[in-house]
Amino acid sequence: MNENPVDETDLILRLDPRRTALLAGHANTLEVLVRVQAPPRPEQNGEPRLPFNLAFVLDRSGSMRGQPLAEACRCAQAMIERLDTHDQAALVVFDHRVKVLVASQPVTDPRVFYRALATVHDGGQTDLHGGWVQGAAEVARTLLAEGLNRIVLLSDGNANNGLCDLPEIARQCAELASTGITTSTYGLGNHFNEELMVEMAKAGQGNAYYSDTADDLLDKFEEEFALMQALCARQLQLAVRTPPGVQAELLNPYRSLGNGLWPLPDLAYDSEAWAVLRLQISRPVLDVAGDGPGSVLEAELAWTDLDGQTRRSPCATLALPILPAAAFGAIAEDARVIARLTELESADLQLQARTAARQGNWARVEQLLDRAKRLARDHPWLEAVVSEMEQLVIARDEERFSKESYYSSQRMGNRLAVKDEPLEEAPHEIPAFLQRQSRQGKKRPS
């Protein structure tokens, strides 16, 4: 019996195979698009949004001197302006020292934060981990069981003071996320460590952004705030089971939790989170054609709703008919599955190009982008992404190319999509966090 009847607040878990059949008498490779669909956003007079418990952690090291630090403070103020008395916030700054400017408290008087931001000045080296730890302590001190608890970390530099080991910092972010405190990161300019910032956000189950210039930064803050306002489900975990003789590989860059468990992005109303599984199905499973559907995959979803309650989806099962070659060849491939696979392949080419650029091998970069361009012929968004990257290659801008390719690759593999997203360009009126942007480090065209 279904213990989780569907209502208007439930998430819908779908399994869409590349082909709706299996080939008898052979080992099969089958890609399956897993789609987690959110309900429509309620009317404005419905449920209030999730309350926020945020710690703004700002890098004030020497490299932030001048406009970068001024813009970072302006962006933090802009986000605080959007908070209300149901929310809590803290303000932490760091160079080689860490200082709490405003301890976590309800945002009853935002002028407390504005006055503190007005005192921020540049300093010394970059104890990024120390700043993050203090931000975590502030969020934990006023933890909201039924709210969004998040560290918002901004830096323009490499961590060069305190703990700097990427795997250990990422491990701590993941450990903190398991307690309900997530981490989003913002990299600014040319000099920050993009691998550290992305891994912190990935392990911390938040979001990773970067801005080419301080002027682009506010656009990223606004995108995240819009996403936080629209959230309807947090801490999503996908559980996958396969029968003997079937192996499943997740192609997206999500961190495995072991035992067939993967975290998915927090979900906003009217959106879908997605992942692609590649199933390797051994021949003994499919020895006899016409013997009824063959079950190859089971999936379940757990998430936390706006009331802080753990919810679970009914089990979704993929069972496909086993057909002889002639009948199997007549089965069309699913265009949406192909499109998502193309995005993931493009993301991999971008990572390879980034490695080549770091090695100064621009000829190899051009070869890889040429492959990406051919791959994107029927995919306007991917074409636009490659075109933007080609401009960075022409300029031989290693730092910007490295960051753009890295963030673009990650975004392609873990983005939220419009629910039932059209294969052509989505309409422009959709929220920024659902738009397929051609350049990650630049603000969106007005």
Domain positions in the chain are 12-40+233-329, 52-212, 335-434
CA of 29: how far to CAs of 47, 282, 335, in Å? 44, 9, 17
Give me the residue label for tokens 């398991």: 178
Q: Which pTM was predicted?
A: 0.91
Tokens of 327: 């009948």
CA-CA distances (angstroms) from residue 28 to 133, 285, 291? 47, 10, 16
pLDDT at site 295: 85
**Which alpha helices (DSSP H) does 395-433 contain, by range?**
398-414
**CATH match for 52-212 among 3.40.50.410, 3.90.550.10, 3.30.470.20, 3.90.960.10:** 3.40.50.410
User: Would you state the pLDDT for residue 9?
Assistant: 63
* Helix, strand, coil in percent for the chain, rounding step 5: 35, 25, 35
Rounded to whole angstroms, the Cα distance separating 271 from 36 reads 8
pLDDT at residue 6, rounded to an integer: 44
- Which residues, 6+ apart, have CB-to-CB distance to 202 below 8 Å? 170, 208, 253, 254, 255, 410, 414
Overall fold of domain 12-40+233-329: Immunoglobulin-like (2.60.40)
Residue found by looking up tokens 């001197």 in the block: 65
Place of tokens 């008919």: 321
Kindly give the parts of the chain with pLDDT less than 70.
Answer: 1-9, 44-48, 285-292, 425-428, 446
In this structure, are residues 49 and 127 in contact, taking their beta carbons and an 8 Å threshold? Answer: no
Q: CB of 401 within 8 A of CB of 362?
A: no
Q: How far apart are CA 41 and CA 120, in angstroms?
A: 39
In the block, tokens 């080939």 appear at 23
State both tokens at 359.
């090695």
Q: Which residues sit opposite 279 in a β-bridge?
A: 30, 248
pLDDT reported for residue 318: 96
Rounded distance between C-alpha atoms, residue 154 and residue 27, angstroms: 49
Place of tokens 């938040």: 206
Burial of 445 (0-12, 13-18, 19+ CB in 10 A): exposed
Q: Residue 317 corresponds to which tokens in the numbers above?
A: 């099962």
